[in-house]
Amino acid sequence: MRLLEERILADGKVRPGGVLKVDGFLNNMMDMELFQALADQWYEAFQNDGVNKILTIEASGIGLACFAGLAFHCPVLFAQKTTPKHIAGSVYTTRVESFTHGNIYDVIVAKEYLRPEDRVLLIDDFLANGAALDGLCDLVRQAGATLVGAGIAVEKCFQPGGERLRARGLLFQLGQHGRDRGDHHCRRD
Amino acid sequence: MRLLEERILADGKVRPGGVLKVDGFLNNMMDMELFQALADQWYEAFQNDGVNKILTIEASGIGLACFAGLAFHCPVLFAQKTTPKHIAGSVYTTRVESFTHGNIYDVIVAKEYLRPEDRVLLIDDFLANGAALDGLCDLVRQAGATLVGAGIAVEKCFQPGGERLRARGLLFQLGQHGRDRGDHHCRRD
């Protein structure tokens, strides 16, 4: 998406080690017009797929997911990285290894909110090694729900997440949307 | 706000110990139409106060804050509960004691994103003992920014957060908006 490309060129900051910081508009301080534009793209890509639930992972995916929820007129569920005491009842659990942060954590969603009849669109800000997206896919599988696809703001193409997701037989096909090189979506075959 | 009241009566669940669970529409699976309606109320209350930044705290405040950001046409910043490795540079830090979760954690925002010229509206899903809101107020104070007020979806009136915030001389006046008993806003005197 040209808007995101332009924003990265204008306000992205390259840190030592080749890290691209987009904290100023994507994943800490968040630009609502950019988010709206991304959600519009995802809606255009998946509007005929019967999406009735958006699933993301806390924390920086939540804002993007909410705009997707607004576009699709459906609820937004976020997977939690720990087990807060106030969640009673049964949950689906999966384990995610974060290469970025160098840790392993459990990710949960309440079973009552992810149902076999759900048609789920995953939303996240980044796809790097794909560990978080793997985890979300696994939660959808455990629930017996239908995985429609995934909308990702930025794929780090130099990291193996996208390729690994395809190679694992998850039947993903990562594509480009129009002239967009920043906004990716994954579609189940 | 009547919509929120009705939703709590319809879908809120009372758990043992008198805990009211609103996870199904407010702070885990999120209802976008409800969020839009809450943001509309906050916009109505603060539209003349020159708000140019929304500040919330991860994770469950982010969705609400994004809708507020959309209403006010301004960026949304979320305070982070830990110090991720990818945040370089200087941050404002405050300490929050969570009575709900029984732990103490540091909360940070990057100095570059919270500026003296900012007029900040705080947004959060709950006000219970007020510890998180205290922390956000402290971050705004450290930045030398102007605290316009706070929009809270649900105040737990049986817990002392609202009263304590006023008693601390933060010049808050917690009010009701119209006939609304669910949607509170705090206004700086």
Closest chain A residue to B34 measured between Cα atoms?
A75
Partners of residue A120 in chain B, C-beta under 8 Å: none
A166 pLDDT more than 60:
yes
Stretches where chain B sits below pLDDT 50 are 86, 171-182, 189
Comparing CA positions, the residue from A164, A119, A149, A139 lying closest to residue A44 is: A149
For the CA atoms of chain B, what is the radius of gyration? Answer: 16
Each residue's pLDDT tens digit, A32-88: 999 999 999 999 989 999 999 999 999 999 999 999 999 999 999 999 987 555 455
Report the 10 Å Cβ neighbour count for A19: 12
Q: What is the secondary structure of chain B as a DSSP string? A: -HHHHHHHHHH-EEETTTEEE-IIIIISEE-HHHHHHHHHHHHHHHTTTT--EEEEETTTTHHHHHHHHHHHTS-EEEEBSS--TT--S-EEEEEEEETTTTEEEEEEEEGGGS-TT-EEEEEEEEESS-HHHHHHHHHHHHHT-EEEEEEEEEE-TTSSHHHHHHHTT--EEEEE-TT-SS-EEEEE-
Residue A29 to residue B39: CA distance in whole angstroms = 18
Q: Phi and psi of A19, rounded to 5°? A: -80, 125
Comparing CA positions, the residue from A183, A131, A173 lying closest to residue A149 is: A173
Report the 10 Å Cβ neighbour count for A122: 27
Residue A125 to residue A182: CA distance in whole angstroms = 11
Closest chain B residue to A21 measured between Cα atoms?
B86
What's the one-letter identity of residue B161? G
A136 pLDDT more than 80:
yes
Q: How close, in Å, is residue A178 to chain B by CA atoms?
A: 26
Q: Which residues of B touch A (CB under 8 A)?
A: 15, 19, 21, 23-25, 28-33, 35-36, 58-59, 62-63, 65-67, 69-70, 73-78, 80, 84-88, 100-102, 110, 112-113
A141 pLDDT more than 90:
yes
**The pLDDT of residue A180:** 37
Closest chain B residue to A88 measured between Cα atoms?
B15
**The pLDDT of residue B166:** 66
Q: Copy the structure tokens of residue B182.
A: 């669910």
Q: How close, in Å, is residue B146 to chain A by CA atoms?
A: 18
Partners of residue B35 in chain A, C-beta under 8 Å: 66
Partners of residue A115 in chain B, C-beta under 8 Å: none
Residue B26 to residue B12: CA distance in whole angstroms = 10
* Cα-based torsion angle of the residue sequence A58, A159, A186, B59 in order, rounded to the nearest 10 degrees: 10
What's the one-letter identity of residue A172? F
Scanning the structure block, which residue is given the tokens 């689906």?
A92
Q: How close, in Å, is residue B28 to chain A by CA atoms?
A: 6
**The pLDDT of residue B83:** 56
For an interface test with A, the pick among B14, B62, B103 (most A C-beta atoms closer than 10 Å) comes out as B62
ipTM over 0.90: no
Is B63 within 8 Å of A62 when comparing Cβ atoms?
yes
Residue A97's contacts (CB-CB under 8 Å, 6 or more residues apart) are: A103, A104, A131
Q: Which residues of A touch B (CB under 8 A)?
A: 15, 19, 21, 23-25, 28-33, 35-36, 58-59, 62-63, 65-67, 69-70, 73-78, 80, 84-88, 100-102, 110, 112-113
Is B23 within 8 Å of A102 when comparing Cβ atoms?
no
- Specify the pTM: 0.87
Q: Phi and psi of B179, rounded to 5°? A: -95, 10
**The pLDDT of residue A178:** 34
Is B32 within 8 Å of A113 when comparing Cβ atoms?
no
Report the 10 Å Cβ neighbour count for A140: 23
Is A23 within 8 Å of B102 when comparing Cβ atoms?
no
SS3 state of residue A51 = coil
Q: Copy the structure tokens of residue A2.
A: 């040209």
**The pLDDT of residue A172:** 45
For an interface test with A, the pick among B22, B25, B33, B86 (most A C-beta atoms closer than 10 Å) comes out as B86
**The pLDDT of residue A144:** 97
